[in-house]
């Protein structure tokens, strides 16, 4: 539906290294679903990001589930994004899924992932 399309695929800081989570949005009762990426250096822990996203999405009528987390290193000057690490609370996101979502938005970037902790 139009409301789901209005939700941005990606909201991450324009620069730096920070925590991120992969979130699944779903209409209650099944049907439409999609995954979004949210990350910010303002979040000390992964759950801080989820605690911000969840109420926003609930207002739009979605159920949210965190599929895991990690870190993003965003270098806007060189147009590079690296996805790595994991979330202690939520476990490791499937970084390959995250990369595919990031590529939709950062079309001219080199985007890579690894299971490295650092």
- Going by the annotation, the residues of the binding site for substrate are 19
Q: Answer for the pair 12, 30: CB distance below 8 angstroms, yes or no.
A: no
Write out the catalytic residue numbers: 46
Count other Cβ atoms within 10 Å, centred on residue 28: 8
């Amino acid at each position: 539906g139009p409301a789901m399309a209005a939700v941005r695929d990606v909201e991450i800081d324009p620069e730096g290294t920070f925590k991120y989570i992969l979130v699944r949005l779903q209409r209650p009762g099944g049907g439409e679903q999609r995954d979004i990426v949210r990350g910010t250096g303002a979040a000390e822990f992964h759950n801080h990001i989820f605690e911000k996203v969840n109420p926003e999405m609930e207002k739009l009528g979605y159920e949210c589930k965190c599929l895991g987390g990690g870190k993003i290193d965003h270098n806007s000057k060189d147009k590079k994004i690296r996805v790595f690490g994991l979330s202690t609370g939520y476990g490791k996101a499937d970084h390959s899924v995250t990369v595919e979502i990031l590529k939709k938005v950062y079309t001219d970037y080199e985007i890579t992932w690894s299971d490295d902790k650092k």
